[in-house]
Amino acid sequence: MRVRGGVRFSRALGGALLLVVAAFVLGVGAEDGKPESAHRPYAGAALDTSGASPFVRRGGGDHGRARRAPATRPSPAPLATEHHGAVAAEHPRAAEIGGEILRRGGNAVDAAIATAYAVCVLNPSSCGIGGGGFMLVQDASGTVYALDYRESAPALAHRDLFRRDETVLAELSRRGPLAVAVPGEVAGLEAARIRFARLSRAELLAPAIALARDGFPIGAHLAAEIAGNAGALGSSPALAHLFLHEDGSARREGEPVQFPALAATLEAVATGGADAFYRGATAAAIAHSVDGSGGILTADDLARYRPQWRTPLHVRYRGFEVFTMPPPSSGGVLLEMLNVVAHDDLAALGARSPAYLHLLAEAMKDGFADRARWYGDPAFTTVPVAQLTSDAYGRALRARIRPDAVLPPSRYGTSPDSGTTHLSVVDDDGMAVACTTTINTAFGAMLMDEESGVVLNNEMDDFAIAPGVPNTFGLIGGEANAVAAGKRPLSSMTPVIARSHTPHVGEPLPEILAVGGSGGPLIISASLQTLLGLIDFGLDARAAVSAPRIHDQWEPPRLGAEAGIDEATRTELARRGHDVRVMTFAGAVEAATYRDGRFDGAADPRKGGGAVTR
User: What is the contact surface with ligand DON in residues (CB under 6 A)?
Assistant: 126, 420, 438, 440, 459, 462, 491-493, 518-520, 523
CA dihedral 516, 510, 197, 515 (to 10 degrees): 0
Which of 131, 232, 125, 135 lies closest to 181, judged by CA? 131
CB of 112 to ligand DON, least distance (A): 18
Report DSSP state, residue 290: H
3-state secondary structure of 596: coil
Residue closer to ligand DON (CB basis): 75 or 420: 420
Residue closer to ligand DON (CB basis): 401 or 531: 531
CB of 523 to ligand DON, least distance (A): 6
Residue closer to ligand DON (CB basis): 222 or 351: 222
Is the Cα torsion angle 561, 566, 567, 569 positive or negative in sign? Answer: negative
CB of 482 to ligand DON, least distance (A): 16
Q: Cα separation of 61 and 306, whole Å?
A: 19
438 is a catalytic site residue = no
Which of 40, 594, 38, 528 lies closest to 315, judged by CA? 38
CB of 366 to ligand DON, least distance (A): 19
Residue closer to ligand DON (CB basis): 442 or 612: 442
| Cα-based distances in Å from 334 to 181, 367, 389 | 25, 7, 9
CB of 461 to ligand DON, least distance (A): 8
- Please pick, among 282, 389, 414, 420, the residue that the annotation labels catalytic: 420
Residue closer to ligand DON (CB basis): 92 or 577: 92
Q: Which residues contact 200 (CB under 8 A, 6 or more apart)?
A: none
- Burial class from Cβ neighbours inside 10 Å (0-12, 13-18, 19+) for residue 253 reads middle
CB of 462 to ligand DON, least distance (A): 5
Q: What are phi and psi of 43, to 5 degrees?
A: -105, 130
CB of 522 to ligand DON, least distance (A): 8
Q: Cα separation of 37 and 59, whole Å?
A: 9
Residue closer to ligand DON (CB basis): 206 or 476: 476
Q: What share of the chain is helix, strand, coil (3-state, %, to 5)?
A: 35, 15, 45
Asked whether 408 and 115 are in contact (CB, 8 A), the reply is no
Residue closer to ligand DON (CB basis): 127 or 573: 127
Asked whether 336 and 367 are in contact (CB, 8 A), the reply is yes
**Angle value at C-alpha 201, between 74 and 196, nearest 5 degrees:** 20
Q: Cα separation of 300 and 429, whole Å?
A: 40
Q: Cα separation of 494 and 517, whole Å?
A: 7
Residue closer to ligand DON (CB basis): 19 or 232: 232
CB of 489 to ligand DON, least distance (A): 7
Q: Cα separation of 529 and 179, whole Å?
A: 31
State which H helix or E strand residue 212 sits in.
Answer: helix 201-214
CB of 519 to ligand DON, least distance (A): 5
Residue closer to ligand DON (CB basis): 137 or 523: 523
Q: Which residues contact 434 (CB under 8 A, 6 or more apart)?
A: 135, 136, 422, 424, 495, 496, 497, 514, 515, 516
| Cα-based distances in Å from 570 to 567, 573, 574 | 5, 5, 6
CA dihedral 530, 323, 51, 63 (to 10 degrees): -140
State which H helix or E strand residue 100 sits in.
Answer: helix 92-103
Residues with active-site annotation: 420
